[in-house]
């Protein structure tokens, strides 16, 4: 899926680690009575209801394979979540497999092709349409209707990302939101007030210049004002496009909307931060060493909620602020991660209970404790999340002006074509303006969209 950012990197020794979790009385056998890929759910359990996973399971003993991507901290966290589930559902055993980003999708595609996919697996919002259109995901709407499950208890953008005219093919598990991180010590040392919701693009450039320093006079700053990753739309440039009044796709999703002055202005702003204003580093400078903010050599970073535990582990004294406003106002990116069920699972009822539980307040409290993503359950978002850590409220408030990261069939091809052009000619090497680069690939982007309608 193109190039992805630091939230997906984990050590190879941890990839594909399996956690088997069951409560007393749990069985290691999958029931055959449930039948694979049941289109019509069985009658609801006696304790069924709309509480989002707090219902208990009354079916036959079942074993579920639950596959996710993640970082080292997620292993124990996911174990705790699953233990909470199996305590409530003692006849279900859950095996959790945690992998790095790229191996995760490689193994998932291989297992689907072999007819042996995990019963429940994590799904990235932009890739969802490609999987749903392959007829490998179980439609959850019959289960939702039967149990009276209340979808409105979950963040609206996240639910929408897994909804199609044909049904509901997943529930959201958490959200990733983009904001502005800042190094408090660097601001304090320079006597500059911390970023707040009054900042705009001009202010970002102004302060970025004040905090970009070349102390040894070698022509390369030792401290950068602003850092972001340029290799994926989610980190910064999609937000700039929306902030400038542009968009990535047309309203009906059938054509590229990048060939407008407004969209080009957003992309151009990021190029200018690097090559004109010189407050953000040439991406090549940190291509091998990684995140400049995490290393303590950048005063600000535009990036996602997933970096909170990483920056804490690095020992940084940092704050989180809203992204500076653009000419068209405030905007940021939100990208949901969901939980989906394999259509041919032998245990659809047990899998449905797990998917519900992952979105429940009990599980969402544990997701919140990880600090790597934003809870999707409105009860948690509206109560305890705001005080979970310094800056959590910024992520929660951002949902009111956030745009969904585009999600459509052919996303991978579209993103690879677009990002290759931007990397080669806009961000890494300014041989073209943003408008010129879009003009060079826009017909290809439209053809990819047309081929996937």
**Domain ranges across the chain:** 6-176+335-404, 177-334+408-451
The pLDDT of residue 79: 80
On the question of pLDDT at 104 being above 90, the answer is yes
Task: Sort 115 into a burial class: Cβ within 10 Å, 0-12 / 13-18 / 19+.
Answer: exposed
Domains 6-176+335-404 and 177-334+408-451 in one fold: yes
CATH topology of domain 177-334+408-451: D-Maltodextrin-Binding Protein; domain 2 (3.40.190)
The pLDDT tens digits of the residues spanning 370-392 come to 898 999 999 999 999 999 999 99
Separation in Å, CA 339 to CA 76, 165, 325, 385? 18, 19, 33, 21
What integer is the mean pLDDT of 355-364? Answer: 96
The pLDDT tens digits of the residues spanning 7-52 come to 433 333 333 445 555 443 333 333 333 334 444 676 544 333 334 4
Strand 224-228 and strand 298-304: the pairing is parallel
**Per-residue exposure over 218-240, b if at least 16 CB sit within 10 Å of its own CB, e if not:** eeebebbbbbbbbbbbbbbbbbb
Which of helix, strand or coil describes residue 142?
helix
The pLDDT tens digits of the residues spanning 191-242 come to 999 999 999 999 999 999 999 999 999 989 999 999 999 999 999 999 999 9
What integer is the mean pLDDT of 44-65? Answer: 64
Q: What angle do CA 310, 380, 309 make, to 5 degrees?
A: 5
Distance CA 218, CA 12 (A): 37
The pLDDT of residue 74: 65
The pLDDT tens digits of the residues spanning 306-336 come to 999 999 999 999 999 999 999 999 999 999 9
| Residue 311 half-sphere exposure toward CB, CA atoms < 13 A | 31
Specify whether the CB–CB gap between 92 and 28 falls below 8 A.
no
Q: Which residue has the higher pLDDT, 73 or 8?
A: 73
> Residue 288: pLDDT band by 50, 70, 90 thresholds?
confident
Distance CA 160, CA 297 (A): 39
- List the one residue out of 388, 404, 405, 364 whose CA is nearest residue 174: 364
On the question of pLDDT at 96 being above 70, the answer is yes
- List the one residue out of 411, 386, 347 whose CA is nearest residue 93: 347
Distance CA 14, CA 98 (A): 8
What integer is the mean pLDDT of 89-100? Answer: 93
Sign (positive or negative) of CA dihedral 31, 37, 40, 44? positive
The pLDDT of residue 73: 60
The pLDDT of residue 40: 63
User: Would you put residue 402 in left (φ > 0), alpha (ψ -120 to 50) or beta?
Assistant: beta
Sign (positive or negative) of CA dihedral 409, 287, 398, 366? positive
Task: Sort 241 into a burial class: Cβ within 10 Å, 0-12 / 13-18 / 19+.
Answer: buried
For 195, which DSSP code? P
Q: CATH second-level architecture of 6-176+335-404? A: 3-Layer(aba) Sandwich (3.40)
Separation in Å, CA 411 to CA 86, 128, 233, 419, 440? 36, 9, 12, 12, 19
- Copy the structure tokens of residue 164: 């199609």
> Residue 78: pLDDT band by 50, 70, 90 thresholds?
confident
Q: What is the mean pLDDT of the chain?
A: 89
- Copy the structure tokens of residue 355: 């998917």
Q: Which residue has the higher pLDDT, 1 or 86?
A: 86
Q: What is the pTM of this model?
A: 0.88
Specify whether the CB–CB gap between 348 and 38 falls below 8 A.
yes
Please count the residues of the chain. 453
Specify whether the CB–CB gap between 169 and 227 falls below 8 A.
no
User: Would you put residue 16 in left (φ > 0), alpha (ψ -120 to 50) or beta?
Assistant: left
Q: What is the DSSP string of 17-84?
A: EEEEE--TT--SS--STT-TT-SS--PPPTT--SSSS-S---SS-EEEEEEEE--HHHHHHHHHHHHH
């Amino acid at each position: 899926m193109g190039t992805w950012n630091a939230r997906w990197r984990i050590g190879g020794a941890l990839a594909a680690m399996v956690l088997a979790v069951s409560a007393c009385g749990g069985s290691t056998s999958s029931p055959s009575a449930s039948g694979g890929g049941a289109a019509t759910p069985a009658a609801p359990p006696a304790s069924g209801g709309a509480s989002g996973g707090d219902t208990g399971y009354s079916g036959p003993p079942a074993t579920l394979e639950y596959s996710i991507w993640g970082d080292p901290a997620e292993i124990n966290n996911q174990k705790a979540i699953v233990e909470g589930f199996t305590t409530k559902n003692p006849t279900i055993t859950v095996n959790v497999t945690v992998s790095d980003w790229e191996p995760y999708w490689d193994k998932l595609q291989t297992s689907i092709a072999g007819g042996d996919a995990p019963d429940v697996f994590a799904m990235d919002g932009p890739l969802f349409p490609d999987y749903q259109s392959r007829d490998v995901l179980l439609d959850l709407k019959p289960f939702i209707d039967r149990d009276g499950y209340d979808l409105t208890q979950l963040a609206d953008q996240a639910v929408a990302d897994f909804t199609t005219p044909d049904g509901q093919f997943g529930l959201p598990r958490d959200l990733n939101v983009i904001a502005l991180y800042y190094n408090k010590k660097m601001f304090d040392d320079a006597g500059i007030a911390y970023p707040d919701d009054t900042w705009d693009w001009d202010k970002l450039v102004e302060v970025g210049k004040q905090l970009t320093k070349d102390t040894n006079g070698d022509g390369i700053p030792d401290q950068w004002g602003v850092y972001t990753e340029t290799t994926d739309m989610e980190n910064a440039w999609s937000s700039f496009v929306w902030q400038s009044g542009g968009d990535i796709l047309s309203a009906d999703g059938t054509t590229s909307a990048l060939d407008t002055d407004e969209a080009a202005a957003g992309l151009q702003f990021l190029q200018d931060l690097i090559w004109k204003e010189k407050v953000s580093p040439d991406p090549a400078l940190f291509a091998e060493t990684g995140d400049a903010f995490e290393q303590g050599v950048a005063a600000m970073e535009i990036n996602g909620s997933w970096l909170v535990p990483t920056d804490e582990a690095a020992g940084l004294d940092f704050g989180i602020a809203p992204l500076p406003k653009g000419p068209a106002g405030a905007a940021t990116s939100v990208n949901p991660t969901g939980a989906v069920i394999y259509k041919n699972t032998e245990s659809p009822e047990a899998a449905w209970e797990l998917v519900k539980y992952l979105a429940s307040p009990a599980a969402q409290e544990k997701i919140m404790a990880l600090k790597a993503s934003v809870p999707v359950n409105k009860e948690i978002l509206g109560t305890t999340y705001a005080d979970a850590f310094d800056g959590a409220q910024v992520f929660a408030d951002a949902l009111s002006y956030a745009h969904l990261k585009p999600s459509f069939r052919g996303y991978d091809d579209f993103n690879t074509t677009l990002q290759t052009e931007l990397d080669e000619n806009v961000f890494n090497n300014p041989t073209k303006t943003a408008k010129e680069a879009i003009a060079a690939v826009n017909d290809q982007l439209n053809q990819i969209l047309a081929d996937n309608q």
